[in-house]
Amino acid sequence: MPKVNVKWGGNRYEVDVDTSSEPLIFKAQLFELTGVVPDRQKIVFKGKTLKDDWEGFKIEDGSLIMLLGTVSEAPKKLTDEPMEVENKDRYIEEKKLNLPAGLNNLGNTCFMNASLQVMKTIPELQTALSLYNADSMEITSKQITMGLKTLFKQMNGAENKAYPPHLFVLQLQHCFPQLATKTPQGMNEQQDANECWNEIMRCLNSELALEGPEKEKISFKRFVEGTHKIELRNTEAEDEVQNSEENFYELSCYLTQEVKYLQSGINKTVEQITKHSTKLGRDAIFEKKTLISRLPGYLCIQLVRFFYKEKEKLNAKILKDVKFPFILDVFDLCTPELKEKLAPNRAAFKEYEDKAVERLRQSKLEEKVEKEEDIKYAPYSFENDPGSNNSGFYELQGIVTHKGRSSNSGHYVGWIKVNKQWIMCDDDEVHPVTEDDVQKLSGGGDWHCAYLLLYGPRRLRID
């Protein structure tokens, strides 16, 4: 991968160029350095202008490339505009909150924006990204992981502002062409946020690691990967039993007519299937029992709202109202062995809650204001299994919602909890919301419907 010198506006930049990728990726790199958007860039090398491919650009280490183009006018700051008193007060309050950076919509990229905002609420992910360095950019997982590291770093430095994710959008579309389809008019088509989430997570899981207490490497996927124990028992020959395990990265909540609450939608531990019986030499009815034998620290749940309508040739949406809890208990989904392991920490939570009333009364008498950084918590993972959940209790920390009637259209929004405050991330618009606002995202109409739910470990406070 040659390192070239790019001259622009009296400045010179050293840039690694991957000529196996589209020139748009190179243009996005230059945008990150100069602020000149790709559409305004003219890149010249030995009298030739860079087009849609690298033809005629035989560059090597040290090549000098000219960049022509001007930075578009920066948007005016909110404070430059006259504001009504009510809006001004709200702006001042939001500035105090240090709101996360928004992401500009670059043409139907809200599916990505919403997913990334929710993903960013996983602190272990941000830590792992900060430690990551790619030894090559030729592999898809490395491109995406390094791109996300750069984007999150830029977002962390742009609080209370919006950031245009040009480079990461181009990387995502280059690595996953199914997320880069266009309309007949050449515009970006709306994509599925869950597919985007899974593709990015797959890359991160194969690349990232954290440092454990003994300096050992802990794969990031341990924080988001659970394990199902599956038992298949032949109902016609009960001594024919098959046991297996499989890993999962999200649970699915199927929205059948009787499902009104999230817990009932994911509690499908026993079902009957037809499969070939080795013992009987024919198809037979098997009882399939699926229980969780390992809980991840962070649990993603998809509400399966979209289904394909053959006649209309589109992915229609189930608008059904399904209530979801802020505190989720998945104890009933676990194997007996895991339940036994969870018991001590669940007892500790109960003991803590039994004393909560007295603590609340005492805190009011003392009028003591506690800072979050002063509060200590017990580990949420088993000592011999970093990244696991040791209680079965989870707390909601992020939601991706969809508004519209089809996955091929409509609009995605991210809702995240930061320092006990819920925040709506609607592309570049970011502002606080109440828990009542979040509760209204359960569906039932044309308003935003919860599509992906991210639960983090419920933390046990140590007094």
The DSSP result for 389-431, as a single string, is: -SSSEEEEEEEEEEESSBTTSSEEEEEEEETTEEEEEETTEEE
Q: Which of 174, 411, 431, 449 is catalytic?
A: 411
Beta-bridge partners for 395: 327, 456
Element (H, E) at 345: helix 336-354
Q: Cβ distance 306 to 315 under 8 Å?
A: yes
CA–CA separation, 90 and 109 (whole Å): 28
- Phi, psi dihedral angles at 399 (to 5 degrees): -140, 135
Q: Which residue has the tokens 């098997």?
A: 286
Sequence-ordered list of residues with C-beta below 8 angstroms from that of 25, at least 6 positions apart, any chain: 18, 167, 170, 171, 174
With H, G, I as helix, E, B as strand and everything else as coil, classify residue 59: coil
CA–CA separation, 181 and 270 (whole Å): 39
List Cα–Cα distances, 98 to 113, 163, 380, 400, 419, in angstroms.
Answer: 19, 15, 27, 21, 11
Would you state the structure tokens that stand for residue 360, as one six-digit string?
A: 């609340």
Q: Is 276 one of the catalytic residues? A: no
Q: Which residue has the tokens 């990204």?
A: 129
- Dmax over CA atoms of the chain, in Å, equals 81
Q: Is 411 one of the catalytic residues? A: yes
Let me know the angle formed at the C-alpha of 222 by 299 and 246, rounded to the nearest 5 degrees.
75
| Amino acid, res. 410 | G
Residues noted as catalytic? 110, 411
